[in-house]
């Protein structure tokens, strides 16, 4: 390669961006032929070109930065597009699922980690990592126009509670391990800051947004830039307060939910920017984190990985099953919820990095967590794609007597989006 004047890895930011954009385009065009979610190809493509495989590109600075912004944007869109009216009508389901989705995996993971002779601090940190989840499969459900279904609203709304509890658990463990006196209560400070931020955001952001959006002299580009500033500012403030950027982004989406309602052009513009630039790079960056050496590690790594994945899947399935049984969700709706809430990414990675820096996790545990992130980020979207297609067949396209696809019985669409919308 050096004879050709090309040194790897490529460090020029423009070349990095060019190669990432080109790969994202080619991958998404290719995987569509196999009827797979584009994000699966993006993760595998990122893994191939990243430092852990071919070493064509480093993560810094382009992939890492755009990947972080992409995750923030996914959480923002989740907050914007959730139907707050449906959440209010189903607030009990959201709260129940959020608590179960945190509590069941946390208890299972804590118990198993202690049986494997982890320290109490290490076991609690591992429980904090695997009790969370990230809406990696959200774009799959969004593309099928299933966001209005009550089970999906329950899963998306419950995510805020689940991840908040996970990050609070992380803060408590960090502050109490080795803490002296009042230091053991240091976790209350970031929690108080988060509450103050939520109160201020709810009071200020919607009013400011309505005033700006109603301004006759404000262009659509300026409105979109305002939204982006709000998202990044809220994400940054939550990180500074001691929690995670994803919570701030989700909160920004909730605050802008009503002001963006009935502004279809601006809404579509924001979604287009996310799908074109930010969100694909998050999945590429996720793949670039994977080191192929992990796959050739000793059998103990794979054994622990299997145990960890079982804990995550069983914990989320139990939470979904209890919620679905109590509120009469269908089998496909439950599968969709499992696909949405199984993937481990942002909060899991944040806990793992913090625990590793504290010395609570050794390199073996870090490798296991990375494998769990990879496998769940691949499996969750695939499950959502399967369950979503089945739901679309059942609910959108009921066959008529003439053999022409017709919308299904409208009575089955309580709290759902317009079934006539294009879902392809």
In CATH terms, 63-283+298-369 corresponds, of 1.20.1530.20, 2.40.30.10, 3.30.70.260, 3.90.79.10, to 1.20.1530.20
Give Cα 124 to chain centroid, integer Å: 22
Query: Is the pLDDT confidence value at 1 over 70?
Result: no
Distance CA 23, CA 2 (A): 23
Query: Is the pLDDT confidence value at 410 over 50?
Result: no
What angle do the packed helices 299-327 and 363-395 form, to 10 degrees?
A: 40
pLDDT band at 357 (very low <50, low <70, confident <90, very high): low
Q: Report helix, strand or coil for 113.
A: helix
Place of tokens 């009550």: 150
Query: Is the pLDDT confidence value at 17 over 60?
Result: yes
pLDDT band at 294 (very low <50, low <70, confident <90, very high): confident
The count of residues in the chain is 424
The β-bridge partners of 406 are 398
Place of tokens 């804590």: 110
Helices (H), 215-298: 220-240, 245-257, 264-273, 279-288
For 302-330, letters b (16+ CB in 10 Å) and e give eebbebbbebbbebbbbbbbebbeebebb
Distance CA 40, CA 237 (A): 31
pLDDT in tens, 78-94: 778 777 777 778 788 89
pLDDT in tens, 54-72: 888 888 888 888 888 888 8
So what's the pLDDT on residue 177?
61
Cα–Cα–Cα angle for 100, 103, 106, rounded to 5 degrees: 140
Distance CA 233, CA 213 (A): 18
Query: Is the pLDDT confidence value at 176 over 70?
Result: no
pLDDT in tens, 122-151: 888 889 889 988 888 888 888 888 888 889
Q: Where are the beta strands (DSSP E) in 37-160?
A: none
Question: What is the DSSP code string of 392-416?
Answer: HHHHT-EE-TTS-EE---GGG-TTP
Distance CA 276, CA 274 (A): 6
pLDDT in tens, 225-253: 899 899 999 989 988 877 777 778 888 98
Q: Give yes or no for a contact between 133 and 344, defined as CB atoms under 8 angstroms apart.
A: yes
Query: Is the pLDDT confidence value at 180 over 60?
Result: no
Tokens of 233: 């500012």
Average of per-residue pLDDT values in the chain = 80
Helix (H) or strand (E) holding 393: helix 363-395
Query: Is the pLDDT confidence value at 76 over 70?
Result: yes
Q: Which of 230, 274, 280 is nearest to 73 (CA)?
A: 274
Query: Is the pLDDT confidence value at 337 over 60?
Result: yes
So what's the pLDDT on residue 309?
93
Tokens of 76: 């923002």
Q: Give yes or no for a contact between 167 and 217, defined as CB atoms under 8 angstroms apart.
A: no
């Amino acid at each position: 390669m050096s004879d050709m004047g090309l040194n790897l890895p490529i460090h020029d930011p423009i070349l990095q961006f060019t190669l990432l954009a080109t790969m994202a385009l080619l991958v998404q065009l290719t995987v569509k032929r196999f009827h797979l979610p584009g994000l699966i190809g993006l993760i595998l493509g990122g893994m191939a070109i990243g430092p852990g495989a071919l070493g064509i590109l480093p993560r810094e600075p382009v992939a890492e930065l755009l990947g972080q912004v992409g995750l923030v944007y996914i959480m923002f869109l989740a907050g914007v597009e959730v139907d707050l009216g449906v959440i209010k009508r189903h607030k009990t389901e959201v709260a129940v699922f959020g608590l179960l989705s945190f509590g069941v995996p946390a208890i299972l993971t804590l118990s198993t980690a202690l049986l494997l002779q982890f320290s109490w601090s290490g076991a609690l940190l591992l429980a904090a990592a695997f009790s969370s989840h990230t809406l990696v499969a959200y774009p799959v459900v969004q593309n099928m126009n299933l966001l209005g279904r009550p089970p999906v609203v329950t899963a998306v709304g419950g995510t805020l509670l689940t991840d908040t509890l996970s990050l609070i658990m992380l803060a408590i463990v960090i502050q109490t391990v080795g803490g002296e006196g009042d230091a053991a209560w240091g976790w209350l400070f970031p929690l108080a800051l988060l509450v103050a931020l939520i109160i201020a955001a709810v009071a200020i952001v919607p009013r400011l947004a309505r005033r700006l959006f109603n301004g006759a002299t404000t262009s659509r580009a300026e409105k979109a830039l305002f939204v982006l500033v709000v998202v990044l500012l809220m994400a940054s403030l939550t990180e500074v307060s001691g929690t995670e950027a994803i919570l701030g982004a989700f909160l920004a989406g909730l605050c802008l939910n009503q002001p963006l309602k009935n502004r279809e052009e601006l809404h579509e513009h924001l979604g287009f920017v996310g799908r074109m630039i930010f969100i694909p790079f998050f999945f590429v960056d996720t793949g670039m984190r994977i080191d192929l050496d992990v796959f050739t590690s000793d059998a103990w790594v794979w054994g622990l990985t299997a145990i960890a994945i079982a804990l995550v899947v069983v914990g989320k399935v139990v939470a979904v099953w209890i919620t679905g049984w109590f509120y009469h969700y269908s089998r496909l709706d439950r599968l969709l919820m499992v696909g949405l809430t199984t993937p481990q990414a942002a909060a899991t990675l944040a806990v793992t990095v913090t625990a590793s820096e504290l010395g609570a996790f050794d390199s073996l545990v870090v490798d296991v967590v990375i494998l769990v992130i990879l496998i769940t980020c691949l499996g969750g979207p695939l499950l959502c794609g399967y369950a979503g297609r089945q739901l679309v067949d059942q609910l959108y396209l009921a066959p008529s007597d003439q053999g022409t696809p017709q919308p299904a019985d409208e009575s089955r669409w309580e709290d759902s989006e317009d079934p006539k919308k294009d879902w392809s």
